[in-house]
Amino acid sequence: MTNNSSRTTNAIETEVLQTWHDNASAWTNAVRTYQIASRRLVTNQAIIDAVLNHQPRKVLDLGCGEGWLAGQLAAKGLLVTGIDAIAELTDAAQQRYGEKAEFITLPYDQVPTALARQKFDLIVCNFSLLGNESVAKLLQSLPPLLNEAGVMLIQTLHPDTAVKADEQSDGWRRETWQGIGKGFRGSAPWYYRTRTSWQTLFDNCHWQLRYCLEPKHPQTLQAASIIFCLESKPRQAI
């Protein structure tokens, strides 16, 4: 993974979507054939357990991809709505899990308006917050979609293990798809944040960190991911 500082944020944010459009089929195959070891060994079960621990009835899977998590949660009896900006992924989700869960193709910036009349007990973002400014805008817009006691769970790459120690500063990186299957094209940009930067982002977007989990890889014993549990901060009247 390498830094990319030569292009504007908007251009890279656009490239994020294009890259996932181009690789939707390869990603779907990689997930459904369990080719990603960290998911198979650690992070899949970690996010399922984290969601079920809150005993939600209605869940929003934001950035649902090919529908794996939504399908798993729906099989547990939860009412799940999956949202993703990539139609190829939501189509794949609908084909496999459409009888159990609802799937909608939407850019993140349209989610608050499209779902304005709905309330969820839990919002989950499972490795789906890849951008910079787009993520900040999204997080600022989500509190109205939660019930009063609702929470948001974010599972993402662990800041301490996702990059080398001497590269741990905020900025764009590139995923080269190594070791997760065949058929991928190009490289995928994603925005790296330190743990401190995640906390600052939450504070700025009116979220309170309730707790975090750090699921460990059973073989390396290193943190395979980090799961943040957030609740909306009450906004002060002006």
Residue 237 vs residues 25, 137, 197, 234: alpha-carbon distances, Å: 47, 21, 26, 9
Mean pLDDT by groups of 10 residues along the chain of 238 residues: 56 94 97 94 98 98 98 98 98 97 96 95 98 96 96 97 90 91 93 97 97 94 96 70
Name the residue ranges covered by the structural domains of the chain. 9-232
Domain 9-232: CATH architecture, name and number where available? 3-Layer(aba) Sandwich (3.40)
d(CA 28, CA 55): 28
pLDDT one-digit tens code per residue, 53-111: 999 999 999 999 999 999 999 999 999 999 999 999 999 999 999 999 999 999 999 99
Token output for 32: 């459904």
Say what the pLDDT of residue 236 is.
54
Say what the pLDDT of residue 184 is.
96
Question: pTM of the full predicted structure?
Answer: 0.94
d(CA 76, CA 211): 24
Token output for 75: 């099989």
The three-state secondary structure class of 119 is coil
Q: Which residues, including other chains, have CB under 8 Å from residue 2's CB and lie 6 or more apart?
A: 173, 174
d(CA 45, CA 130): 21
Say what the pLDDT of residue 94 is.
98
Say what the pLDDT of residue 96 is.
97
What values do phi and psi take at 188, rounded to 5? -110, 125
The three-state secondary structure class of 173 is strand
| Angle (deg, nearest 10), helices 9-22 and 133-141 | 80
